[in-house]
Amino acid sequence: MSGERSRALFDRALHVVPGGVMSPARSFGSVGLEAPVFLERGEGAWVWDADGNRYIDYLGAFGPHILGHGDCRLTAALVAQVQNGILFGTPHQGEVLLAEKLVAAVPCLDQVRLVSSGTEALMSVVRLARAATGRDLVLKFDGHYHGHFDGALVAAGSGASQTADGGSSGIPAPIRHRTLSVPFNDLAAAHRAVASHAQELALILVEPICGNMGVVWPHQGYLQGLRTLADEAGCLLAYDEVIVGFRARFGPAYPLVGPAPDLIAFGKVLGGGLPLGAYGGRRELMQLVTPLGAMFQAGTHAGNPLSVAAALTLLKILAEDGVYQRLEAGSKQLADGLLAAGLRHGWPVSLSRLGSTWTLFFTAQAPSDLVGAQSQDQALFARFFGGMLSAGVLLAPSFYESWFWTLAHGEAECERTLQAAEQVFAAG
């Protein structure tokens, strides 16, 4: 299905890159295709591959894109920053501005540290919770993905869901055993885990609305239940908002579904496509971070001026009137249309959406946990993915991922995508 040039590049990559890809979720193996498409260019809602084929982009680079490709305001800010210097290794004005904007937009944030990825943000959250509590056990949830540091790779989601146990080899058993994982949306299971380890628990770490087994919402009252459990056990509660932060509203997603956490992490959207993560929380917790406290966290590229320039420009655009309403309206129209078309043609599909991201699940009932997400029909998804790709619509190559709509997507893209889906569903 990939064109000749993508295929040739992949053959070369296989010699010098493990599996031919820099990150496992980029492989097309799970949708039964021999080679992934190699993209060369993006403009607005569209991307072009090495063979000159163009696609409407719903992969969205796995979540960072919310403006679309090549937004001229973002490009201008980046060019200006390149001309002024891209990295200094000292504090700079932009990072102060960005920290102020984040603190103003996120109610649970008194102080924030900028890092270079979601993984780094979550790794720091876990270390900080351990430093603050003097305990070391972490409770997470099956199918939630918090990056690729050792302790997070227990029953993990996203690309790690494709491994035998949702984890990784190479993780020392003592570290693995310091992470407990229970099913999402099952408060009794979380209660049991907390009750039997209350004295050792440093942190309950959760995606408040999950994006790594598809978009999965918490049941009503579930996050409040976790908040209560954390308070009773004397441990911290942290939200991983790397996918959902700034996606459906200006700021964190958690006010839609639950109480404030003690710590929070951002990534993806915040960087406008450049590498950027952020974590923070209450002042007394953040005072434990070096150089004030003893919890060490550092980074050569932390708060780098280029990523910060992108984030400042992005936040300015996202704060404009009507932006999230536009994202919501366009996404709803397409997502509703996709579901209706699938059902009309008798496909066992369901859909779950958070603003401009959604998952079309290949199972009749939208999942509420990992077991539900795993019950999807893989062969059906592979058929849908291949059909859409041939029709010029690029999706993430895994049914554990989501679609991402941007401000550059509009009526024309919606219509074209629905036509493509209609054909694929009709072909059966």
The CA angle 411-414-420, to the nearest 5 degrees, is 140
Check: CB of residue 58 under 8 Å from CB of residue 394: yes
Give the Cα separation of 30 and 400 in Å (integer). 11
Binder among 2, 27, 30, 117 for ligand PLP (CB under 6 A): 117
Binder among 115, 137, 243, 373 for ligand PLP (CB under 6 A): 243
Does residue number 146 form part of the binding site for ligand PLP (CB under 6 A)?
A: yes
Side-chain-side CA neighbours of residue 176 (13 Å): 13
The one catalytic residue in 71, 136, 142, 240 is 240
Binder among 242, 278, 315, 334 for ligand PLP (CB under 6 A): 242
Structure tokens at 147: 């990056």
Ranges of beta strands (E only) in 77-198 are 111-115, 137-141, 179-182
Q: Which of these segments, 14-22, 34-42, 140-148, 412-420, binds ligand PLP (CB under 6 A)? A: 140-148
- Angle, helix 72-84 to helix 305-318, in steps of 10 degrees: 150
> Of 91, 125, 85, nearest to 109 (Cα)?
125
What order of strands is seen across the sheet that includes strand 277-281?
111-115, 277-281, 263-266, 236-240, 201-206, 137-141, 179-182
**What's the farthest any 2 CA atoms get from each other in the chain?**
62
Check: CB of residue 113 under 8 Å from CB of residue 265: no
Q: Which of these segments, 113-121, 193-201, 292-300, 354-362, binds ligand PLP (CB under 6 A)? A: 113-121
State the residue number with the nearest CB to ligand PLP: 118
Give the Cα separation of 43 and 57 in Å (integer). 10
Return the number of the residue (278 or 339) whose C-beta is nearest ligand PLP.
278
Site for ligand PLP in 73-102 (CB under 6 A): none
Check: CB of residue 106 under 8 Å from CB of residue 252: yes
**What is the CB neighbour count within 10 angstroms for residue 70?**
14
The one catalytic residue in 57, 268, 279, 369 is 268
Q: What is the CA radius of gyration of the chain?
A: 21
**What is the CB neighbour count within 10 angstroms for residue 377?**
17
Contacts of 411 by beta carbon, 8 Å cutoff, 6+ apart: none
Burial class (CB in 10 A: 0-12, 13-18, 19+), 392: middle
Binder among 158, 297, 307, 376 for ligand PLP (CB under 6 A): 158
The site string for ligand PLP over 10-29 (x = CB under 6 A, - otherwise) reads: --------------------
Return the number of the residue (243 or 274) whose C-beta is nearest ligand PLP.
243
Give least dist CB 300 to ligand PLP, A: 16
Return the number of the residue (20 or 157) whose C-beta is nearest ligand PLP.
157
Binding-site size for ligand PLP (CB under 6 A) equals 16
Instruction: Tell me 133's DSSP state.
Output: H
- Catalytic site residue 145? yes
Does residue number 119 form part of the binding site for ligand PLP (CB under 6 A)?
A: yes
> Coil, helix or strand for 424?
helix
Binder among 147, 281, 303, 342 for ligand PLP (CB under 6 A): 147
Q: Which of these segments, 50-58, 111-119, 162-170, 414-422, binds ligand PLP (CB under 6 A)? A: 111-119
> Coil, helix or strand for 247?
coil
Does residue number 145 form part of the binding site for ligand PLP (CB under 6 A)?
A: yes
Does residue number 142 form part of the binding site for ligand PLP (CB under 6 A)?
A: no
Site for ligand PLP in 244-283 (CB under 6 A): 267
Return the number of the residue (23 or 419) whose C-beta is nearest ligand PLP.
23
Does residue number 239 form part of the binding site for ligand PLP (CB under 6 A)?
A: no
Instruction: Tell me 63's DSSP state.
Output: T
Give least dist CB 263 to ligand PLP, A: 13
The one catalytic residue in 58, 145, 239, 254 is 145
Does residue number 211 form part of the binding site for ligand PLP (CB under 6 A)?
A: yes
Give least dist CB 50 to ligand PLP, A: 24
Binder among 47, 102, 115, 122 for ligand PLP (CB under 6 A): 122
Give the Cα separation of 428 and 417 in Å (integer). 17
The β-bridge relationship of strands 350-354 and 357-361 is: antiparallel
Give least dist CB 267 to ligand PLP, A: 5
Give least dist CB 389 to ligand PLP, A: 22
Q: List interacting residues with ligand PLP (CB under 6 A).
A: 62, 117-119, 122, 145-147, 158, 207, 211-212, 240, 242-243, 267
Tell me the catalytic residues.
Answer: 145, 240, 268
